Amino acid sequence: MRTPRADPLRAARRVTRPMPYTALLIAGCLLPTGAGLPVLSGPPTAIAASAPTDSALKPVDQAALQSAVERAAHRLKVPGAVVLLRTPQGTYRATVGTSRLGGERAPTTAEHFRIASNTKTMTAALILLLAQDGRLRLTDPVSDYVPEVPNGDRITLAQLLKMRSGLYNYTEAPRLAASLDADPAKARTPREMLALAFRHPPNFAPGASYEYSNTNYALLGLVAEKAGGRPLERQFRDRLLAPHGLTGTSLPDLHDTSLPTPYAHGYLYGGTAYALTDRPYPAHLEAAARSGKLQPLDYTHQNPSYATAAGGAISTADDLATWIRALVTGEVLDPAHQRQWLRSPQAEDPSAPPGGQSYGYGITHQRFGPDAAMYYHGGELPGFNSFIGHDPDHAVTLVIWTNLTLSPGGNTTANALLPTVLDQTYAGLSLPTDAD
């Protein structure tokens, strides 16, 4: 699992995220120029169309948004895509393609899909709630909760949350991808994934650097279970999902490979490793995918148990829009812990200009324009790619998901759609949106 690039979980890989606003582009997000699949569009669903009073925002045109997303998705060759945009002007939806290759049903914002590393926003919030309850402290060493972690007596929960433990990322292990391809339905426990990670030495000393690692959140899931005294899925339901009305969201049981209906099928060209590691498509595979000679494989029911707290949840665009707004605006945590959460992002690259990509407690923060910044996360799993974000300064909420992990050119598809949507939303941006 990678980062947005987005990751089967969001892990740290071909990163496809907004760059500092001085660059005004999306690294690795340039959209493909090759021919795409036939596009089936849903009807416009905007609510309200008055001009914004906020000068940072454009008047959103539903038809223009739909058309722009259709063109971009067509170039990316995604079977289906959904964009849900909420601004002070109203709610806008752009849906493209189908929920299943060969089918005719257009996807909707109520469609269930695997949200991959967007799960981390929930795991982090649960850890903060347990801290709020006094059941743990973020300064606690992880060894207080999980034994036999390399450097565990020196790795704090805060360092796990902020990807600063130095622990090897288990989803980078070649044997995991090979195992998933050989037996996709097999259940894999968090402790098995940690054992896989701990076969490798740490990459750096705790706190010395930043490196996106799903191992951190596999550990946090076990920490939450010990501190909370209940299974992770039950704590998700009781502490996060039910209180915020997220009726379409769930953390599946270890053996459950199904999705609630309606759901989208998810696709990936080639083997699982292309989604789990930073392995580029070989030229022959890319050419075959672009020409249509190679069809993507259906990964819908690959067992996501290896992801769990790092990326195992299922949700809908409607639920995720509600969730990310609630999380950023202070509806989940008490005021003191909300301030701590908002201030948690720390520059991933300390030499980068101010306003660049920073990772905090299960959240990324970045400025992508002179007047706009967003708290966001992304998710990448074999079959699906997604982005969720909220801009509290301008009350903009955005969810994008696709049911193709990577375009033929190797870009994470939801993130590759991001500049197209931002260009329709914000004034004063100049984003490349028409290349792969």
Number of structural domains the chain divides into: 1
Residue 332 lies in a domain: yes
pLDDT at 43 exceeding the cut of 50: no
Residue 317 lies in a domain: yes
CATH number at residue 414: 3.40.710.10
Give the integer Cα–Cα distance in Å for 153 and 252. 31
Lowest mean pLDDT among 19-23, 317-321, 342-346, 406-410: 19-23
Residue 294 lies in a domain: yes
Residue 242 lies in a domain: yes
Residue 52 lies in a domain: no
CB 365 within 8 A of CB 375: yes
Residue 110 lies in a domain: yes
Confidence of residue 108 (pLDDT cuts 50, 70, 90): very high
Domain carrying residue 215: 62-425
Residues 342-354 have pLDDT tens digits of 999 999 999 988 8
Residue 319 lies in a domain: yes
C-alpha angle 138-144-227 in degrees, rounded to nearest 5:
65
Residue 394 lies in a domain: yes
Structure tokens at 78: 């995604």
Confidence of residue 40 (pLDDT cuts 50, 70, 90): very low
Confidence of residue 109 (pLDDT cuts 50, 70, 90): very high
pLDDT at 370 exceeding the cut of 90: no
pLDDT at 273 exceeding the cut of 80: yes
Residues 128-148 have pLDDT tens digits of 999 999 999 999 999 999 999
